[in-house]
């Protein structure tokens, strides 16, 4: 038994095999849509976690029966509003505000783990694949600051710019204002600047 020679068929097949980055947006997005199967070890671990105390909580009771509200807000309301208030046909109201909007939102979400891993700059850590992508930031309401997010995963804002182009951060801040969230964690400016100088690609622009 020994290592295969450089010209062996097995090695040639391995060299021709595309990497995950080279497989393209469509395949990666479809994989995200399908979801990864939970491993047997994770499934066993989930069964050992004691969560019975959470079930009587009103919020948990609502979450377990939320599918009707999803259908209502995702499809029925966007279809009903243009049909009832300004006389749009049901056909157009169903396919444009409901289905087309839903498809665009899904694809914008999938771009976070596809386009934002392929195109953009890496101002915080040039040694990792995730990047800062302005188009994804705009289409996914703030989730395109992906290099920052993977460099500082414990920062709730996913960006050093706070609410700028980041409606998700604004929503979390509003929930804190209402008392529904707390203990937001941020990265200090000193830590960000130190990381920029140590591992960044030099493309950082302040503000």
pLDDT reported for residue 86? 92
CB neighbour list of residue 174: distance below 8 Å, 6 or more residues apart = none
pLDDT reported for residue 61? 72
pLDDT reported for residue 13? 44
Which residue has 């996914």 as its token pair?
140
Which residue has 């101002």 as its token pair?
123
Of 195, 191, 202, 194, the C-alpha closest to 122 is 202
Per-residue pLDDT of the chain (207 residues; tens, 9 = 90+): 444 555 544 444 444 444 555 455 555 555 555 554 555 666 666 666 666 666 677 777 777 777 888 889 899 999 999 999 999 999 999 999 999 999 999 999 899 989 999 999 999 999 999 999 999 988 888 888 999 999 999 999 999 888 777 888 999 999 999 998 999 999 999 999 999 999 999 888 765
Helices (H) and strands (E) in the chain, counts: 12, 0
Find out whether 169 and 142 touch, Cβ atoms under 8 Å: yes
pLDDT reported for residue 104? 92
Helix (H, G, I), strand (E, B) or coil at 145: strand
pLDDT reported for residue 8? 46
CA distances for 154 relative to 54, 94, 100, 121, 133, angstroms? 25, 40, 34, 21, 20
C-alpha 78/C-alpha 101 separation (Å) is 9
**pTM greater than 0.75:** no
């Amino acid at each position: 038994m020994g290592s295969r020679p450089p010209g062996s068929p097995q090695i040639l097949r391995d060299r021709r095999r595309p990497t995950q980055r080279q497989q393209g947006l469509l395949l990666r997005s479809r994989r995200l849509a399908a979801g990864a199967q939970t491993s047997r070890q994770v499934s066993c671990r989930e069964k050992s976690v004691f969560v019975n105390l959470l079930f009587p909580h009103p919020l948990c009771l609502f979450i377990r029966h939320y599918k009707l509200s999803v259908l209502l807000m995702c499809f029925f309301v966007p279809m009903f509003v243009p049909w009832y208030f300004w006389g749009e046909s049901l056909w157009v109201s169903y396919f444009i505000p409901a289905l087309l909007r839903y498809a665009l939102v899904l694809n914008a979400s999938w771009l976070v783990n596809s386009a934002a891993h392929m195109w953009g700059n890496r101002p915080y850590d040039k040694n990792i694949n995730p990047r800062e992508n302005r188009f994804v930031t705009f289409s996914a309401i703030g989730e395109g600051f992906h290099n920052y997010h993977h460099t500082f995963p414990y920062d709730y804002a996913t960006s050093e710019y706070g609410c700028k182009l980041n409606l998700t951060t604004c929503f979390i801040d509003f929930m804190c204002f209402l008392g529904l969230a707390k203990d937001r964690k941020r990265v200090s400016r000193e830590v960000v600047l130190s990381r920029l100088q140590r591992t960044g690609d030099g493309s950082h622009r302040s503000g």
